[in-house]
Structure 1
Amino acid sequence: MRKTAVVLIALFLSATPAFAKVKVVATLQWIGSVAGEIGKGQVEVATLVKPNQDPHMVEARPSMILAARKADILMYNGLDLEIGYLPVLIESSRNPNIQPGKPGNFDCSHFVTVMEKPVSVDRSMGDVHPLGNPHYHYSPGRILSVAEGMADALSTIDPSHADAYKANLSIFREKVRAKQKEWSALPTKGRRFIAYHKLFEYLAADFGFTITAYVEPKPGIPPSAGYIERLIGTIRETRPDGILLTPYYGRREADFLTRRTGVPTIVVPHDVGAVPGANDWFSFMDQALSALVK
């Protein structure tokens, strides 16, 4: 009887690690979505920023610090998009796994080619991101590179499931390539848009449309009445296909421009979950691109 009990205890202890999932904490919804595709049953994903939040304006909360404290790996956008709260989370968590330079600190931007990196930055330029435009999650090719980095990082942390992460990556890669063919067939090439904020540059570069002007005179700077009047003149003269904005801001100004010019306002999701039906990164891209061609 005693020997049987010892055997059962040994079996339990040896089996426990097989059921322990890697705790992934992602700052943004799209990161959590891609991490779930690569990790599948081997990971448990918690996402910090809600889909209805402006990612530029997030502040650290105790619940976020607690989540970071429990993380095996922290995945974030990078390029200073999370600069307002991420350093506080990492320091306050006192979690050695996620400190800079550790395998559990995963900066997604390290795996992408960045657009619009300024040579120099000063306050007169508005809220310019000094490391480059951080909104690369609209670029399928760049997201595939991020996914490849995720698979490697998860394999380092959890080598016993490295083959599973590699297999999940292969499935993800094939799905991205199939969707790229589908998305490339949409009539986005040659279209011209006004945008509220510098959010859609990667989307424009990948799908062949142009952003001709911005409702913000400079990034993060609200437009004055005089600027709006000048923009109305520009819109009437150039007749763009639409005015692009996200669900979280710019609607009042865009609707005013639409009333004055007749050019439609187009709401484009900024992240997974931002609009109904954008339940993962693939459906988020479906929604973003279909909004441009409706």
Structure 2
Amino acid sequence: MGRIFTWEEVAEHKVPQTTSFITVFEYLARELAEKEPIRDILVCGSMLRGEHNIRSDVDGLVTYRQEEEGEAIAALQEATIFANSLYVPLELIPVSIGEARLSLHDIKPAFANHLLWAEVTGIIKGHPLGLFRFDHMTTITADTRNYLKNKLGRLLKDWAAFPIMSEKEQCRALRKVVETPLRVARKVLETRGFNVHIHGKKRLVSSYCEMFGGELTKMLVRLQDVDQEYTNDLYDHVFNPNQTGYQTCIEKLKTAVPTVCQFVRLNLQMFVEPITNDLPPFPIS
């Protein structure tokens, strides 16, 4: 199991050596752990068991201070670039400290138990799992909350990996970015009893804005404008193609990523449960 390489990768020797995984681990301990916004680092997987091979990756968990999110993501990007220079896939899940404590994260119980096992030998910095709170919700509210947690986690992970994505991968990720605001609005409206299945895009946007107003409305409208601007630019380039101009359009979409992450986060905060003492700080396997 593991990666499937292209012929080009094989022919050009773009395949990691088994020792490269240890080099990446050492980089995380030497460089990433020294970054001030990074609070905890925990890696897991086959490398800890000595079972990794050239098809493996390095995955794990990183917690950071939300007020320094940009710096934390930049540090993860640097680590990703370094690992990629050795052809090692680095898959670290970024979670802010606040989201860990309020259970607004995307860590599933199965993976949490995987991380729990890895604590024996995989901790590089701190003690991340002590931060995490897990809860249980049901019904449509639970579904929406889980969707928002998953979406935020995926967006942050993609954001951190942007420097090493191919053009095709970036376009796939950017599609998720521009689709997210409306999908989030739809899911949240559904929890308020709004029948999202019989109304179009404009009605969804206007209904969301009427219901929530303020910063959320401004963000949603701005993000929908970004989406529409890209559509308009796309039509222009279909008839008058210009590679440099089109690349500028793609770069504009990338600038929306932080706003989309914040939009998801603010919606997610509507679903924070009161903190009680009857929930274990970490799931027991």
TM-score by length of 2: 0.31
Structure (1 or 2) with the greater helix fraction: 2
- Return the structure number with greater relative CO, CA threshold 8 A, min gap 6: 2
Q: Which has the larger radius of gyration?
A: 1
TM-score by length of 1: 0.30
